[in-house]
A = this chain, B = another copy of it.
Amino acid sequence: MRNEYHHELDALVHRLAGMCDSVGSAMQNATAALCGTDPARADWVLAHEWVIDDTRRRIEEDVQQLLARQAPVATDLRVLVAALYAAESVERMGDLAQHIATAVRRRYPEPVLPVLLRGRFRDMGGIAVRLAAAAGELVRNRDLDDVQAMIARDDEVDRLHRSLFPVLSDAEWDYGVATAVDVTLLSRYYERFADHAVSVARRMAYVVTGELPQHA
């Protein structure tokens, strides 16, 4: 009985880690669609959203089953509570990738981003994808060595996000207010995506240390 239970707990953890990988792929495709010219990659993101939502629903059901049947304590209980929170954060990361894909589709065949800003969004996207992968790794191995590096990457996304506002407010901004509005929201989606990846990391830190993380 205990063995089957731990097998189910492992399966749950691997499902959560796989969900991190899925939102990483979604973000990679959404960023490629945003910074390039291939709307098919935006469509891919929109077509696969259900997989992420479905995985989250399964994780949630499994956690509740395990809580009800096994009455876990100590680390096992912390894993289950952390999985509930983390699945919520990761699903939200998927939503944000989807918002980016939707923006690309809405403006197509016009590009949403001025060419001027592509490099910056490619950088934010690259970091975001690495953060999703790092969150997945951390869920799998609970090796807290990477948490600080993740926080540093999140700070870098924040810096890139903030550095856009002077560009948009500059007198030489030639792309109009509507584009500035789009860019503002898009940048915010990357910033929130990175925040959520760090909040998954903090939850995993809590599984290991038993300390409730400060809210990011």
Binding site for B on A (CB under 8 A): 53, 56-57, 60-61, 63-64, 67-68, 71, 73-74, 77-78, 81, 84-85, 88, 91, 95, 165, 168-169, 173, 176-178, 180-181, 184-185, 188, 212, 215
Contact = CB atoms under 8 A, between A and B. Distances in A.
B84 A67 contact: no
A179 B141 CA distance: 45
Given A71-B71, A188-B185, A81 B64 contact: yes
A5 to B, nearest CB: 14
For the residues of A in contact with B, the DSSP-based class is: helix
Nearest to A81: B64
Contacts of A212: 57, 60-61
Closest 6 CB pairs of A and B: A71-B71, A169-B178, A177-B180, A184-B184, A181-B184, A68-B73
A173 B177 contact: yes
A177 B167 CA distance: 10
Nearest to A166: B178
30 contacts: A53-B215, A57-B212, A60-B212, A61-B212, A64-B77, A64-B78, A64-B81, A67-B67, A67-B77, A67-B81, A68-B73, A71-B71, A84-B85, A88-B88, A91-B215, A95-B215, A165-B178, A165-B181, A168-B177, A168-B181, A169-B178, A169-B181, A173-B177, A177-B177, A177-B180, A180-B180, A181-B184, A184-B185, A185-B188, A188-B188
Nearest to A91: B215
A81 B59 CA distance: 13
Contacts of A60: 212
A169 B177 contact: yes
Contacts of A84: 81, 84-85
A71 to B, nearest CB: 3
A203 to B, nearest CB: 11
Contacts of A73: 68
Contacts of A95: 215
